[in-house]
Structure 1
């Protein structure tokens, strides 16, 4: 009972010390007493703090109790993550010969990244502290910083060295470093995901029909430069015997002549690899093999032709104006892309896909806001009588990798008129410099 009572009194004393340093408990749970494990969410590691020479004090050795947290534990590549490094207990003491006044202590430090992404994050704290008596431990501090996620996978964050700067009478620095940097425990973990990417491969035919054996000019676009491309005929989901090979040029385009000899061919596709796939192949372009057969004796052939049309789009307006965001507050600037009308008059089995790509935003003085900061929520409506349904793309980030705005599936017969729109939201960080920020949104129909 006596041991338990002493332990309870000891925790009470530590809790009061942390509350005073945090200005009313803003830093959360207290540090653990020496010899006891830290509370959940906190880590302890041995530290050596070197007082400034002017203080005439010996090095201070002891545990640092800290907490590391992030504002987004599941970011995507390109996102900016804010890191908070809280030092709740440190062996460092007041280096000033007398009392250290309030709001004269400024902390700086480092966070060490490892795993899928390595490097360091610099964190800085505000000049904010209660008065400290001579020789007393320096109070708890909070430091923040940001980093941009550059790789997908698991990323660990561990505490690094920190410095406590006392700006009273003299500028005095007390640097504190882990006694064994290789043994510092991990303070936080996050898992970064890749940005979604859109398949922009497409084929365009110079003619939509021809006699058996006629050669049709095929333009395959949207492939990686130098990629080996196969252009092939299709009948439904199966390939026919019509096939040629090509290599994409520096623009990712290959232009070839495809002799269509298989009467079963109803469409043409292009793809990379050994076989067509939705990830590395284009959608099909409709093609009809027209076979001329003579009528039997005593009959007259009456022929009417429905000419296949084209696939095209128009857009209302040439610019998108987003709402304003107050300086210092940051947040969402919202708007709409404006109505896009897609008309499909080809009359074949191939559906279509409308994709968008967005450059980075450029502002005053060349300041850049990543294009991945803008997301959209698409909508799509098929006009009455259309042969195809219209599927809006998924809500999410647009960015330079691109995303699907809307699409229609392959079917035995497709076509129609489709009205497409999307609400867009640009997330701007706090204290983004005032001014106009512009980017280019490119829409591609294939």
Structure 2
């Protein structure tokens, strides 16, 4: 058994050997003071950072500077909206402390974004386990982390970069924790939230669904502004007919009365506050049919016809997409185009529709590519003369949870023919096992 001095020397030698071996996963901090950046929309900001490398690396805490940027997917949300936040560390206060080259995809970052102004708190963000190889003594690459928060207060909400942690998985699972020296860090982004008006709960119901010309139809309603003047009118498609009356909402917002319907084209009744129809202040339309029982004059013949409601359907231009090949080790995107999808809405009612898609994992030779690696950029066109106008879904990840390809909103009269398609992009991780991979994209029309 060696002397105490020999034992301490031996322990110190082992510590240095571990530090030499594991230093590849530790972070060295570049010294420098914080550079205050003015607040602004999605601007890079510098802030003083205190980083603590893994203890086993044998490196002391070092103070340095981080350059970061906060971006959001919506700078003008309403109360109740969910905002996606991306925290990008443009230049970490860290570099590879050894001459050892670090392999790709060993870094998993997490952190937080600090909210201020009209809403306070922290947004937890996380990034994928993905990074380019880092040469010895080279600066660590930029990385991004994302998270979401729900807007709870109207007004200007500031977003500042907060503490972050880099977890490394190389030889051992280690963490390097970096904190803001003088929190909060400078503001990088500001969103202005609007108050969200309460949902429209106005409703109207009828005493009967049909009647002869000149018959009165009883109606009741609720959810209107107490004491407001409410117009009850006939509707033919998207136009009002001459059939109308006004009533005053009682102290609880209820209405009641009757409307004499004369116009043979009336197909429904609406009720609304204000000088004209508004979906925010109205109710209906509620279906009502005028039965034309006018006697046929002597020597005449009454001709009738019926427009039959159809169905909501879709068809595809094909059932297979051959996406572009990628080189082994490149980590490039495999791209392609979704076969065009034709939506036909011949129902002739007030309902809109939604076309969504979800994808399975891409299975290959003893390996797979996660479904979350597939993204799309949707597009949608409306055939001329269609009552509705389709809307393309948002560009982004499809994944197993699914996303919207296209949709059409509810309306007084909807329908038409639409063509939806999308550009596809599958991120193939670097060094994915060579071979053919296939996933199934399922589209659902509702």
TM-score by length of 1: 0.54
Query: Deviation digits for residues 310-335 of structure 1, max 9, x if unmatched?
Result: 35225676667566374972666423
Aligned CA RMSD, in angstroms, stands at: 5.9
CA distance in 2, matches of 1:114, 1:174: 24
Match of 1:17 in 2: none
In the TM superposition, residue 269 of structure 1 has moved relative to its aligned partner by: 3.4
Match of 1:269 in 2: 268
With over 3 angstroms needed to count, the CA separation of the structure-2 counterparts of 1:78 and 1:55, relative to structure 1, is closer
SS in 1 for 2:215: coil
CA distance in 2, matches of 1:171, 1:408: 59
Match of 2:19 in 1: none
Number of corresponding residues: 350
CA distance in 1, matches of 2:76, 2:317: 27
Match of 1:108 in 2: 109
Match of 1:12 in 2: none
1:122 to 120, 126, 137: 126
In the TM superposition, residue 126 of structure 1 has moved relative to its aligned partner by: 1.9
CA distance in 2, matches of 1:404, 1:168: 49
1:178 to 177, 180, 185: 180
1:423 to 397, 417, 420: 420
1:42 to 34, 41, 44: 44
Kept in 2: contact 1:110–1:122 (CA 8 A): yes
SS in 1 for 2:421: strand
Query: Deviation digits for residues 136-164 of structure 1, max 9, x if unmatched?
Result: xx734322334467669977543333345
Gaps of at least 5 residues in structure 2 are: 1-29, 197-202, 225-229, 250-256, 326-331, 363-369, 395-402, 430-436
TM-score by length of 2: 0.54
CA distance in 1, matches of 2:207, 2:379: 32
Kept in 2: contact 1:203–1:285 (CA 8 A): no
Kept in 2: contact 1:125–1:141 (CA 8 A): no
CA distance in 1, matches of 2:122, 2:269: 39
With over 3 angstroms needed to count, the CA separation of the structure-2 counterparts of 1:122 and 1:212, relative to structure 1, is same
With over 3 angstroms needed to count, the CA separation of the structure-2 counterparts of 1:282 and 1:390, relative to structure 1, is farther
Query: Deviation digits for residues 360-405 of structure 1, max 9, x if unmatched?
Result: 626359x987xx9784423224xxxxxxx54450542297798427
Alignment of 1:48-127 (within 5 A): 48-62=50-64, 64-68=65-69, 70=71, 83-90=87-94, 94=97, 99-103=98-102, 106=107, 108-112=109-113, 114=115, 119-123=123-127, 124=129, 126=131
Kept in 2: contact 1:121–1:145 (CA 8 A): yes
Q: Which shifted more, 48-57 or 322-331? A: 322-331
Match of 2:353 in 1: 356
CA distance in 2, matches of 1:435, 1:358: 19
In the TM superposition, residue 52 of structure 1 has moved relative to its aligned partner by: 3.8
CA distance in 2, matches of 1:322, 1:190: 43
Kept in 2: contact 1:48–1:178 (CA 8 A): yes
With over 3 angstroms needed to count, the CA separation of the structure-2 counterparts of 1:215 and 1:242, relative to structure 1, is farther
CA distance in 1, matches of 2:241, 2:107: 67
Kept in 2: contact 1:320–1:336 (CA 8 A): yes
In the TM superposition, residue 35 of structure 1 has moved relative to its aligned partner by: 7.5
Kept in 2: contact 1:269–1:281 (CA 8 A): no
Alignment of 1:382-421 (within 5 A): 389-397=385-393, 403-404=407-408, 420-421=417-418
2:382 to 373, 379, 383: 379
Kept in 2: contact 1:331–1:427 (CA 8 A): yes
Gaps of at least 5 residues in structure 1 are: 1-30, 133-137, 195-200, 221-225, 246-257, 295-299, 345-351, 382-388, 411-417
Match of 2:304 in 1: 307
SS in 2 for 1:119: strand
CA distance in 2, matches of 1:290, 1:169: 85
CA distance in 2, matches of 1:374, 1:322: 19
In the TM superposition, residue 121 of structure 1 has moved relative to its aligned partner by: 0.9
